[in-house]
Amino acid sequence: MRSVALRLINYETLKNGASETGTAATFPMTERLRPHLATLMGNGGFRALLARALVLASAEVSWLRKVIVNADGALEGLETPYAQLKPAEFRDGQVVLLAQLLRLLVAFIGPVMTLRLMGEIWPQLAADNVDFGNGDKK
């Protein structure tokens, strides 16, 4: 799932330029997903899902343990790690968290529906033959 997450981040990087995706203390991908998923499952639903993804991702990327999901479903506590970590490490955290979020969606609603949901945000996804069902662990 990491490769899919990486691809989505690349889409977003290409669209917005590196300034928004890699050089600020934010996770723009989760922000991009938030309104779409909140429409579907409500803010509370999105917040719960992201919090679970964060816990799972923290097991792989330790610095994510200091990050929290606030009441609006936005991530807080990114400034310090952003200042301390190398850009590649910070980006790795983004990839892992997004991968976990996608993995959760696949677990709940299956690869086809996850692909459709993601396709609404990134239409180029369908054309790229992305496989949400491959179950990669990385």
Partner 1 sequence: MRKSARKAKLAASKTAVPKAGLSKTTLLKKPAGNPAKVTIRKLSTGVPGLDDILGGGVPEFSLNVLAGAPGCGKTTLAHQIAFASATPKKPALYFTVLGEPVLKMMRYQQQFSFFDETKLGNAVRFINLSDVVLQKDLAAVLEEIIAQVTAANAGVVVLDSFRTLARKANSDVGEVEVQSFLHRLAQFLTSWQATTFLVGEYVEDEIRDNSLFTMVDGIIWLSQVTERNSVVRKLQVMKLRGQATVPGLHTIRITEEGLQAFSRTLGLMGDKLKPARRQRLSTGIPDLDTMLGGGILEGDSVLVAGPSGTGKSALATQFIAEGLRLGEPGIMAIFEERPQGYARRADSFGLTLKSAEQKGTLELLYLRPLDLSVDETMQAILDAIKRVDAKRLVIDSLVGFEMALAPGFRTDFRESLYRMIGALTGAGITILSTVEVEDNFISLQFSHYAISFLTDDIIRLRYVEIDGQLRKMMVVIKMRGGNHSKDIREYVITDKGVVVIHPRRTDYAEMSTGIPHRTGPRRAQENEAAPEPKASM
- In whole angstroms, the minimum distance from the beta carbon of 10 to partner 1 comes to 23
Among positions 44, 87, 133, 135, the unique one binding partner 1 when judged by CB under 8 A = 44
Query: What is the C-alpha to C-alpha distance for residues 61 and 79, in angstroms, rounded to an integer?
Result: 16
Please identify, using beta-carbon distances, which residue of 8 and 105 lies nearer to partner 1.
105
Toward partner 1, which CB reaches closer, 45 or 87?
A: 45
Closest by Cα among 5, 17, 4 to 94: 5
51 near partner 1 (CB under 8 A) = no
Give the binding-site size for partner 1 (rule: CB under 8 A).
Answer: 19
* Interface residue with partner 1, options 10, 16, 39, 84 (CB under 8 A): 39
CB nearer to partner 1: pick between 110 and 135? 110
Beta strands in the chain (DSSP E): 68-69, 75-76
Instruction: Give the chain's radius of gyration (CA, Å).
Output: 14
**Exactly one of 15, 70, 89, 108 binds partner 1 (CB under 8 A); which one?**
108
Residue (of 44, 32, 35, 43) closest to 5 by Cα position: 32
Q: Is residue 87 within the footprint of partner 1 (CB under 8 A)? A: no
75 binds partner 1 (CB under 8 A): no
Which sign does the torsion angle of CA 27, 29, 32, 35 carry?
negative
Sign of CA dihedral 34, 131, 100, 77: negative
Least spacing, CB of residue 35 vs partner 1, in Å: 12
Is position 91 an interface residue for partner 1 (rule: CB under 8 A)? Answer: no
